[in-house]
Structure formats: C-alpha cells, structure tokens
Amino acid sequence: KAIAYLFPSGLFDKRARPMMKHPTEIFPEQRKIQWGEDGRPLHFLFYTGKQSYYSLMHETYEKFLNAQKHQDQLIAQGLPHQKEKKNLVGSRWLTKIELEEMLLEKLSDDDYSRFILLLQKLMTLPCGDTEEKYVQKFTREVPVQLQKVVIEPLKYDERGVAFSTGEGARKTANATAVVYDNGTGKITVNGIDILHYFPVLQDREQLLFPFQFLDRVGKHDMVCTVSGGGRSAQAGAIRLASAKALRSFVTEREVEFMRQAGLLTLDPRVKERKKPGQEGARRKFTWKKR
Amino acid sequence: LRRLTQVRWSRYNPSFLEPEVNKELYQKPQEQLSEEEKERMELKAVRPIKAAPSSVSSSVFSDPMISKFTNMMMKGGNKVLARSLMAQTLETLKRKQLEKYHKAPEDEKEAIECNPYVIFHQALKNCQPIIGLSSITKGGKTYQVPVPLTDNRKRFLAMKWLITECRENKNRRTMLPEKLSQELLQAFNNEGPIIKKKHVLHKMAEANRAYAHFRWW
C-alpha cells in the first residue's frame, strides 16, 4: 500500500482500460448450420443455393398477391380509395450491401434490382398495416438537413449604403462579390468593367443570371475579385458568389426559388484525372491490331 | 432501377434533382398547380438540387432547343464560334423575313412570320421523322425494321440532318449562317432537301412494313 501511495501508477485507472468495440461489431454474423443431424437440410429452399433470398421473394410475392386480391375486392364493392403517397421524402430503399448483411448471403445485382422492383410494385397497391410494416423493414431514413443555411444580415458602409458579401468557386476559380444596394447595375471585376473583362456574351449572361431571376437587374452595384480557372469557370464562380450575396437582400421564399433554380449549389464537377494506360481521362490509346 | 455498376457516372449524388430555371413557374400561385406538380414541388423542397449549367439562364433569350442545336454545331469545344454562328443565322433569318414583309402587299403582311425563334421551332418540327428504321439480324440476314422513335431521337435526327446538309451541300463561297437560314426557311415551308429526306425515310419504313413484327420491344 505504501508503494502504491508513493509510486502511483495509472495502469489500473478506469480511463486506461482498452477501448474495444463490442464483439458483434467486429465479427460479422455467420450462418448457422443449415442441416440437421441426419444430413437433411432444415430449410425447404436449401437446394436453390440462395435460400434466404428466395424465401424473401416468396413472402413478398405472397403479400403482393394478397394486396391484389384486396384491391379486387374493393373494386368489386365500390370505388377503390386512392393510395396516399408516403416515403417520397425521408426514406430510401435498402442498399445491396445492407440487404446482403440482412440475409447473410451473397446477392447479384439482378437479384437485388428484382427485389426492389417487387417492393415498389407492392407500394403502388393499397395495402393494410401489416404490409406497410413489412415494407418499412426494407427502408432506411434519409436525414433531411437542407434548410440549415444561415442568411447573414445586411451590413452598412460609411455612405449608409447596404451591402453584403458572398463567396463562390467553380473548378479552380475562386471569387468574392460585394453587392451594394441603390445602384445603377454597374459590375466591376478585378477593377475592370465586365464588358472588357468578359468579351463573350455567355459569361455576361451568367453574371446577370441571379439579378435577372430576381428582377433586380438595374438596382444593385457589384464589385468582385476573381482568381484562377478559365473564362467560363470565373463567370460561374462570380455567379455563385453574387447569388449568395443576394440572399441577404431577398425574402426566404425567393431564396428557396433561387435554390430550386440551381443558383446556390456549388458545382462539384472538376477535371477528371488522367489514368495510366490511357491517353486521357476517357480516351484510350489507338488500338493497333498487330 | 438504375444499373448498379454504372458505366457513365456523375459527380453529383443520385439524390440530386435537375434545376428549373423558368421564372414563370415560380410565380404561379399555389391553386393553379396540378397534383403532379404539387408532388414535384414537395420533393424539390426536401432534396438537394444540381447547379444550373453555364449555357442556361432565365433570360428570354436562352432557349433549350437553340442551346442544344448550338452544342451540336460546335466543333472541338469552340462554343464561342458556334454561338456567334447561331446568332448570325437568326439575324439573317430576321433580315430575310423583314425584306419579304416590306415588299409584300397589305393583305399578305400578317401571314409572314418574322420571329426567328418561331421559324426555327416550326422548321425543326417539320423535319422530325415520325418513324425510323433499325437494323435487326435474324437468321443471318439483316433487315431494316420500321420502329417508333422517342421525342429526343426525333429532335436529334432533325438537327443532325440540318447540320450535315448545311455542311456538305453548300458552295465553297457561301457562309454557314446563310445556308442554314435558307434551309430553315425551306423547312418552314415544308420544302427542301431535308423534308425530302424525311419523306424518303417514311417511304422506306412503309415499304418494309412486312418486317414490323420482327421488333420485340
């Protein structure tokens, strides 16, 4: 006890214990033995090779037939009620890997797509509660996180004019834009007027796109700085920057409309890398017969 | 369901939706929307949306058909040249129509169409074939089987015929915009080599009608 007091060691501390995952996370589930003591298989579909997949298809198809019978009865009685649309929004189907984990069997792409098509067909029919619960086992929630962008309030400079800044990028071009209120529609890029900086009509159209969309063409002044990229990339970067800056001037509904028009999304398309054994990203070397 | 191993892939996640640039759709009030449109609006409110491409804008002057045609005319990625050629074509169209308009007597003035966009759309529509031919090999022999075409395919064929016609059958001295405007006017009036080509295709399809049952899709 004296030694433990005089030379304290952290080896026995609770925080020094090894942090290990639960064994179920490390070792994947294995299939239990499929046949009994006499050698006869336990499942009736064992000799198909993919017993759990085929039994799943069997069950789903049974439910589908029941739903069809139910629908026929409804039609025979009177007006069939309309199926309410759900699952549009927050859920997605199981991926192939998740389905494989569930069934503990390898699946082919074709099998997986057949199963998903069958589930989709089942969804179109009016089905009761039990069938809905069955289908929900094969759906996963998609977290909906879209409206989390914070719109900055307007700032005021020395003259008392409201302005706001925005940043944008496209391919390798980076741009920052400062949009001033009570303007005449003058746009300056890197100290040069847009008519001289962008001689091509398409680029100027892209710069004016956000303003034209919001019907504010002659009402704002803009000063931007841009670097990197080519002519079209710089135009796209400034377009994104000005759209982001205009969010502070505009109602939330119009911001939503801008987003649906594709003005506020960063374009993820970049130059694809060149692969070894090929001349470019996609082009292969000339094929020579001998 | 999309094929699981993609050959052509995109940098966007498959859950991204296409952007809608047309301003008027956003200014329509809620009551006038049909059921399908309401569903689509709800879906759009939740899903992320792709960025608008750089050839598209919400102004009156950008037309999807015209941009498609410009892209098809483009050679080696030279969009500047293709766009200027397109602008010159529309200008020459307008000039020709205005000339005709000023020369015509009063009662025919209303019948002459001056808007080059309208002429372009109508000419394209007149050039589109209704039925196409597809080669199907059966029993060693290849037959030309009449087959229905999708809208996209029809538009593509019409545009391709226009462009090849203008590039090949012109004099060395004539400029492409001139030749294109000439062809467009002819197609607008349902005459000219492209309409003839379309009729020839229709006749071939009618002649091979006996093999129509070879189609399995």
> What is the residue-wise DSSP string for B21-46?
--HHHHHS-GGG--HHHHHHHHHHHH
Which range has the top average pLDDT, A11-15, A81-85, B39-43?
Answer: A11-15
Cα distance between residue A28 and residue A41, in whole Å: 23
The CATH code for residues A155-261 is 3.30.230.10
Kindly indicate the confidence band of residue A84, based on its pLDDT and cuts at 50, 70 and 90.
Answer: low
Specify the amino acid at residue B202: H
What does DSSP say about strands A155-156 and A162-170: parallel, antiparallel, or unpaired? antiparallel
pLDDT of the residue at A87:
59
Cβ contacts of A88 on chain B, cutoff 8 Å: 39, 42-43
* Per-residue pLDDT at B44: 84
Distance between start and end Cα atoms, chain B? 18
Range B63-214: architecture per CATH:
Orthogonal Bundle (1.10)
pTM across the whole model: 0.80
B26:A260 CB<8 A: yes
Which residue ranges make up each domain of chain B?
Answer: 1-62, 63-214
User: What residue ranges in chain B does DSSP mark as E strands?
Assistant: 131-138, 141-148
Per-residue confidence at A20, pLDDT binned at 50, 70, 90?
A: confident
Task: Answer yes or no: do A89 and B55 touch at CB < 8 A.
Answer: no
Handedness of CA B155, B161, B164, B169 (dihedral sign): negative
Report whether pLDDT(A85) > 70. Answer: no
Closest CA to B49 of B74, B92, B18, B71: B18
Per-residue confidence band for A177, with pLDDT thresholds at 50, 70 and 90? very high
Which stretches does DSSP call E strand in chain A?
91-93, 139-141, 155-156, 162-170, 173-180, 187-189, 192-193, 221-227
- Mean pLDDT value across residues A117-137: 84
> Which amino acid is it at A259?
R
Residues B86, B173 contacting (CB under 8 angstroms): no
- Minimum Cα–Cα distance from A113: chain B residue: B1
User: How high is the mean pLDDT of chain A?
Assistant: 88
How far does Cα B128 stand from its chain's mean position? Answer: 9
User: Strand B131-138 relative to strand A173-180: parallel, antiparallel, unpaired?
Assistant: unpaired
Pick among A213, A217, A272 to test the B interface (most B CBs inside 10 A): A213
Q: Is residue A25's pLDDT more than 90?
A: no
List of chain B residues with pLDDT < 70: 1-7, 32-33
> Distance from A263 to chain B by nearest Cα, in Å?
6
Minimal CA separation from B46 to chain A, in Å: 7
In Å, how far is A264's CA from the nearest CA of chain B?
Answer: 7
For residue A83, name the pLDDT band (cuts at 50, 70, 90). low
Q: How far apart are CA A133 and CA A75, in angstroms?
A: 24
Check: CB of residue A227 under 8 Å from CB of residue A176: no
Shortest Cα–Cα distance, B212 to chain A (Å): 30
Is A122 within 8 Å of B73 (Cβ atoms)? no
**Which one of A85, A200, A265 has the shortest CB-CB distance to B39?**
A85
- Which residues of B lie inside 8 Å of A (Cβ-Cβ)? 1, 3-5, 10-12, 15, 19-21, 23, 26, 39, 42-52, 54-55, 57-59, 61-62, 79-80, 83
Please, what is the Cα angle at A163 between A162 and A165, to 5 degrees? 160
Which residue of chain B comes nearest to A112, CA vs CA? B4
Distance CA B175, CA B167 (A): 10
Give the span between the Cα atoms of B136 and B144, in whole angstroms: 6
pLDDT tens per residue across span A205-245:
999 999 999 998 889 999 999 999 999 999 999 999 999 99
